[in-house]
Amino acid sequence: MNQQQIEFDRALIQRYDGKGPRYTSYPTADRFGAMAPEDYLGRLSQRQVGAVCQPLSLYFHIPFCDTICYYCACNKVITKDRSRAERYLDYLEREMDLQCEALEGKAVVKQLHFGGGTPTFLSDAQFERLMAAIRQRFELAPDGEFSIEIDPRKVSVATVELLARLGLNRMSVGVQDFDPDVQRAVNRVQSEAETRAVIDAARAAGFRSINLDLIYGLPLQTPERVRDTLARVIDIRPERVALYNYAHLPERFPPQRRIDEQALPSPEAKLDILQASIDQLLAAGYVYIGMDHFALPTDELAIAQRHGRLHRNFQGYSTHADCDLMAFGASAIGKVGAAYVQNHRTVDEYYATLDAGTLPVTRGIVLKPDDLMRRAVIQSLMCQFELVFQPFEIAYLVDFSSYFAEELRRLRELEADGLVEVDDDRITVTAKGRLLVRSVAMVFDRYLGVAATSARYSKLI
């Protein structure tokens, strides 16, 4: 089967369109419990031991935005006071110092990502300060992937050029929709011209990869309007396109209460939009990576998938499967060895903990051997659409068919519906099942069997 083949089976999608985790981690973040900062520091110090020492990835959460997008579900602070970023940088440096005390020397960083909020809420001078602080404490690999999320409304050509000089080489640009009526309905008015200006500047400055974020299911969207947006996106020709499903959860995310629910497309219309969008992207030469992501065949994500090296983490799909992740800032989630760790969510809690001289770690989980194996199984299904038993049997010293006998029994039900093919030595997600791969992965999620909390999760489609 063609690795990127995908088949849109509307009846199957409607039958399985429940809720489920996105599996940016396993166990998922809603399963985290209390974790002490010293436990995390112990994990960091252990990564120095011989073969245990993995390459390093860094994530910095910049929570500030100066305007609110009504659809947004990110952990953010809305403010026009730019001085707040200066204070936040003070605390980021304190947190870096506390974490780096557990490391020996300057660790080599292969991956760096700035998310938010809006990372370019920082001024040019503030961003120079932050990058200098990072380079003072870490060694950025010459061939590393260093990326940033961009709101084109807030970035000048000069800032893009500065980001390139500071070493950033990948960019994720928020678009959502180019239709002006849709933009007004979600309070994000953004012209195609200013979006193109940022992307043109990034390419001229040497950025290696551009991703465009789109959302389907927004108010006033129709298949025709989204088709027009996608035609413009395809003309821009980004290396990657993310097409996210809008999850309307106003009870959890208060800004969404400003969206007119009567203007949201019906479930049938959303499926029409999704089907037409997939057809349009595939016809334009993009390949389906998984979940919401598409890439050009020459992009590193598509190459990694073909070679079996694709990985999934808190920033989505990644080409670096072997990195420990150190995370900084309010609500940031890291992964070191067999543990996940998350900081306090609010900026005030984050500041108060650091003022007390303590890392702002509040939650996390240490993975048991069963968790590690299930994480690897779910990664394989989500990233490669296939799972071969023998490598897991060698790595984890189990008989796969015996250990997962109940899961394989449940997979037979999905096989009868055409989502998977189960053989004696492997599981293959079919072309029809790829859009519903989360349903397949959920079979192996032990925590869902213990206590399902589906209300916390987004719709599968």
391 and 373, same domain (yes or no): yes
Tokens of 318: 């990644």
- Which range of residues forms the domain containing residue 410? 1-27+369-461
Q: Which of 326, 355, 383 is the last residue of a domain?
A: 326
48 and 169, same domain (yes or no): yes
299 and 432, same domain (yes or no): no
Q: Which of 326, 342, 360 is the last residue of a domain?
A: 326
**CATH number of the structural domain spanning residue 411:** 1.10.10.920
Residue 223's identity, in one-letter code, is P
397 and 258, same domain (yes or no): no
Q: Which of 291, 326, 361 is the last residue of a domain?
A: 326
98 and 17, same domain (yes or no): no
84 and 9, same domain (yes or no): no
15 and 75, same domain (yes or no): no
Q: What is the pTM of this model?
A: 0.93
57 and 5, same domain (yes or no): no
First-to-last alpha carbon distance for the chain, in angstroms, is 23
Q: Can you say whether the dihedral through the CA atoms of 34, 38, 39, 43 is positive or negative?
A: positive
pLDDT digits over 249-284, tens only? Answer: 999 899 999 999 999 999 999 999 999 999 999 999
**In this structure, are residues 434 and 367 in contact, taking their beta carbons and an 8 Å threshold?**
no
What is the overall mean pLDDT for the chain? 92
Residues 66, 346, 60, 459: what is their CA dihedral angle, to the nearest 10 degrees?
-80
Could you tell me which of 151, 42, 167 has the C-alpha nearest to residue 111? 167
Q: Which residues of the chain have pLDDT under 70?
A: 1-4, 48-53, 321-322, 449-461
CA 299 – CA 236 distance, rounded (Å): 15
Percent of the chain whose pLDDT exceeds 70: 95
87 and 226, same domain (yes or no): yes
Residue 332 placed within a domain: no
Residue 35 placed within a domain: yes
Residue 181's identity, in one-letter code, is D
234 and 143, same domain (yes or no): yes
CA 406 – CA 321 distance, rounded (Å): 28
Residue 91 placed within a domain: yes
410 and 265, same domain (yes or no): no
305 and 417, same domain (yes or no): no
**What are the backbone angles phi and psi of residue 75, rounded to the nearest 5°?**
-85, 105
pLDDT digits over 87-129, tens only? Answer: 999 999 999 999 999 988 888 999 999 999 899 999 999 999 9
**How many domains does the chain divide into?**
2
